[in-house]
Amino acid sequence: MTDAALHALLSLRKGSTGQIGANRIRLLEAVRDHGSISAAGRAVGLSYKAAWDGIAALNNLCDRPVVDTQSGGRHGGRAHVTPAGTAIIEAFHSVQSELDRVAFALERQLSRNDNVSLADILKGLTMRTSARNVLTGTVETIHTGAVNDEVILRLGESQTITAIVTHKSVLDLELTPGTQAMALIKSTFILLTPEDEIGRTSARNRLCGTVIAHEDGAVSTEIILDIGDGKTLAAIVTKDSADELGLAVGSRACALFKASHVIIAVP
């Protein structure tokens, strides 16, 4: 192909649940070849944290985990690509080969007109977001109000997320029960509490799980929960709050966040 940037825009969709690009496929292949996330990160030029985040995002986007991990941390632990992950790798390369062929032919045809470029046509079609958490699911119920609607998104057998969005947004996104959609939640919107101290709260969403990562910074701490079904949720809290909560790796905790803090997106 004549445009190197064009290749980066090609991605694989599984149904309508999200996009998986070449960088994440390379990371997945590195996990397969090296047997650990830290080694895979080094192989593709990523830090351990960036590699771990990439694998967590893949697991969150897919119905079944693409990588199974065993604890060990930054300097240990094992990971292996599941059959679902292997199928994604194979499907990606098959689709990529066909897209490369079609894109090259289309670019050559469009190049006859100096004012038209395939890269310009495709620019901006991929979604990027600053939200730390992107979870996929299926719209289960919509409760319609005069101005705002309540949308309940099912993540798995036992987990749901409730979002409050305008009725116009529901119409614009064409949301109906059965629609696949994504919930975007900023990590700073999430409140954490030990599972046995959850008490009463006005937060509409409560997702409980096991702490699998706890990384302190100078001011803030990032805590990641495994909420089941291969999905994770990241929260950023102050270091003082993290110390007071005592949420060490392996402990149980719940993530609380308001329905109004959830953004619903569709591909």
Residues 50 and 145 in one domain: no
Using alpha carbons, select from 201, 206, 221, 184 the residue that is nearest to residue 254: 206
Residues 207 and 227 in one domain: yes
- Its pTM surpasses 0.75: no
Look up the CATH number of the domain holding residue 7. 1.10.10.10
What lies within 8 Å, CB to CB, of 140 at 6+ separation is 152, 153, 154, 160, 177
Look up the CATH number of the domain holding residue 234. 2.40.50.100
Range of the domain at 170: 129-267
**Range name among 12-16, 103-107, 253-257 with the lowest pLDDT average:** 12-16
Of 81, 98, 126, which residue is a domain's last?
Answer: 126
At 44-80, the pLDDT tens digits run 999 988 899 889 888 888 778 899 887 655 555 688 9
Q: How many CA atoms lie within 13 A of 199 on its CB side?
A: 6
Strands (E), 84-219: 133-143, 148-154, 160-166, 180-185, 191-194, 205-216
Q: How far apart are the first and last CA of the chain?
A: 26
Using alpha carbons, select from 142, 130, 157 the residue that is nearest to residue 230: 157
Q: Give how many domains the chain has, as a whole number.
A: 2
Tokens of 251: 């402990």
Distance CA 150, CA 174 (A): 14
Of 99, 126, 153, which residue is a domain's last?
Answer: 126
Residue 156 has pLDDT above 60, yes or no: yes
Residues 118 and 174 in one domain: no
